[in-house]
Amino acid sequence: MAVALPSFLTAIMIMSRLMAFIGITRNNDMSSKLQALDIAPKLSYDPSAIESASQDFGHIVKAVPQAVLLPSSPWDIASLVNFSYSNSVPFSIAARGNSHSVNGQAMAKNGVVIDMTSMKNGNGTGIRIANYLYLTVGGTLSNAGISGQTFRYGPQISNVYEIDVITGTADFVTCSPNNNSDLFYAALGGLGQFGIITRARIPLEPAPKRVKWVRMLYTDFSDFTRDQELLISKNGRNDNKALNYLEGSLLLDQGSLDNWRSSFFPPQDQPKIISLITKFHIVYCLEIVKHYDGQTKTTVDKDLQQLLKGLSYLPGFMFEKDAKYEEFLNRVHSEELKLKAKGLWDVPHPWLNLFIPKSKISDFNDGVFKSIVLQRNITTGPVLVYPMNRKK
């Protein structure tokens, strides 16, 4: 029987390596004016703070600020913004979460960077957020927040009740879909260009204790995308039987399986996975997660089998892991630690996010994945493929 699918989009994330730097200048006049402000004790000129605020995860752009503000309240931020606004020559201000941007978006050349993580003990938006736990609420709400749960809930910015924003004129504005909605929709996904988010009211749900975590391999791209679409069309619902997480990725023929996402696979199965990749050069990996706890422990395996029924992954290439929820949440960080130990984390990271309509995803596989990413060997970083519903 044919399944009627809603219209789909696929988000693709590609990370690679490249290097470039831009120049540096200093403004002593501004520094002395900053030192006269009431927030002066919270401004840091420490070389290590300046150096850290001059770069980001991308390591492509470098822009040196005059100072770094460590605010303990939104009023400290408003005081700085007000000073810049009323200055004869306003200077740049950038909010910085954990600086996981890739192209200098959280930098302020010759200006002041606001380290939002210094507000994490209050009601600030510098606190960490799930999926990759080292991103911040403010940083992801200023981008979009796409992950393996987007098929169910939409991006993070579609899940916000209300935010407080300090505008460029240093006004405090509370906004929501029904209240100052222009600013609400501009600040969400606004890369900090419409104001600084100092509070966000977002829905939360209880964390499960454990997860069933499954990866399945495909050599046929149509089977892979058809299964992704089938799974998200069946699992948009909010009940206990639905999938909790779905992601896709590419395994490329690069001589070994030693990349930052490979440790999931049991060591004894790695030779046969490497042979598969060597033979087909590109293998598609579908990853799903089902949460469970004490109450659902006895039914989770049956529910999982039900979800996997009818999928077309390669026989013998389905791998399952039972893990603590924290281990799943911290999976990127564990790989980060391994790369750091090899000196491979603090390298340039060009990063491309694209939304591809369902009608073009097959052309994209042939023209980009096979003919560019694989043939020209342009990345050793992850290439992720998230299916999502356009209506979310």
Q: Does 146 bind ligand FAD (CB under 6 A)?
A: yes
Rounded to whole angstroms, the Cα distance separating 314 from 385 reads: 18
Q: Which stretch binds ligand FAD (CB under 6 A): 80-88, 135-143, 267-275, 302-310?
A: 135-143
Q: Does 57 bind ligand FAD (CB under 6 A)?
A: yes
H or E stretch covering 366: none
Q: Does 185 bind ligand FAD (CB under 6 A)?
A: no
Long-range contacts of 5-8 (CB under 8 A, 24+ apart): 5/229, 5/230, 5/233, 5/358, 6/233, 6/389, 6/390, 6/391, 7/357, 7/358, 7/389, 7/390, 7/391, 8/229, 8/232, 8/357, 8/358, 8/387, 8/388, 8/389, 8/390
Look-up: residue for tokens 């630690």? Answer: 337
Q: Does 304 bind ligand FAD (CB under 6 A)?
A: no
The CB-of-340 to ligand FAD minimum distance in angstroms stands at: 12
Q: Does 55 bind ligand FAD (CB under 6 A)?
A: no
Q: Which one-letter amino acid corresponds to residue 350? A: P
Q: Tell me the pairing of strands 112-115 and 67-69.
A: parallel
Q: Does 135 bind ligand FAD (CB under 6 A)?
A: yes
Q: Does 71 bind ligand FAD (CB under 6 A)?
A: no
The CB-of-65 to ligand FAD minimum distance in angstroms stands at: 12
Q: Which one-letter amino acid corresponds to residue 47? A: P
Q: Does 186 bind ligand FAD (CB under 6 A)?
A: no
Report the site for ligand FAD in 307-346 (rule: CB under 6 A). Answer: 332
Q: Does 197 bind ligand FAD (CB under 6 A)?
A: yes
Which of residues 54, 55, 66, 99 is near ligand FAD by CB under 6 A?
99
Which of residues 66, 79, 142, 228 is near ligand FAD by CB under 6 A?
142
User: Which residue, 141 or 251, is less far from ligand FAD as judged by CB?
Assistant: 141
Q: Which stretch binds ligand FAD (CB under 6 A): 61-69, 189-197, 295-303, 338-346?
A: 189-197
Q: Does 192 bind ligand FAD (CB under 6 A)?
A: yes
Q: Which stretch binds ligand FAD (CB under 6 A): 40-48, 98-106, 249-257, 288-296?
A: 98-106
Q: Which stretch binds ligand FAD (CB under 6 A): 20-28, 43-51, 66-74, 89-97?
A: 89-97
Which of residues 66, 79, 140, 180 is near ligand FAD by CB under 6 A?
140
Pick from 65, 147, 60, 135: nearest CA to 104: 60
Q: Does 54 bind ligand FAD (CB under 6 A)?
A: no
Residues 6+ apart with CB under 8 A from 52: 99
Which of residues 131, 149, 225, 228 is near ligand FAD by CB under 6 A?
131
Q: Does 196 bind ligand FAD (CB under 6 A)?
A: yes
Rounded to whole angstroms, the Cα distance separating 221 from 229 reads: 12
Q: Does 210 bind ligand FAD (CB under 6 A)?
A: no
Rounded to whole angstroms, the Cα distance separating 180 from 175 reads: 5
386 touches 150 (CB < 8 A): yes
Q: Does 248 bind ligand FAD (CB under 6 A)?
A: no
The CB-of-82 to ligand FAD minimum distance in angstroms stands at: 17
Which of residues 95, 214, 243, 388 is near ligand FAD by CB under 6 A?
95
For residue 245, list its beta bridge partners.
289
User: Which residue, 34 or 137, is less far from ligand FAD as judged by CB?
Assistant: 137
User: Which residue, 133 or 318, is less far from ligand FAD as judged by CB?
Assistant: 133
Rounded to whole angstroms, the Cα distance separating 193 from 211 reads: 38
Q: Which one-letter amino acid corresponds to residue 26? A: R
DSSP for 331-355, please give it.
HHHHHHHHHHHTT-SSS---EEEEE
Rounded to whole angstroms, the Cα distance separating 212 from 139 reads: 29
Q: Does 157 bind ligand FAD (CB under 6 A)?
A: no
3-state SS class at 282: strand
Token digits of residue 101: 């941007």
Task: Provide the binding-site residues for ligand FAD, judged by CB under 6 A.
Answer: 57, 94-101, 105-106, 116, 125, 131-132, 135-136, 138-140, 142-147, 191-192, 196-197, 332
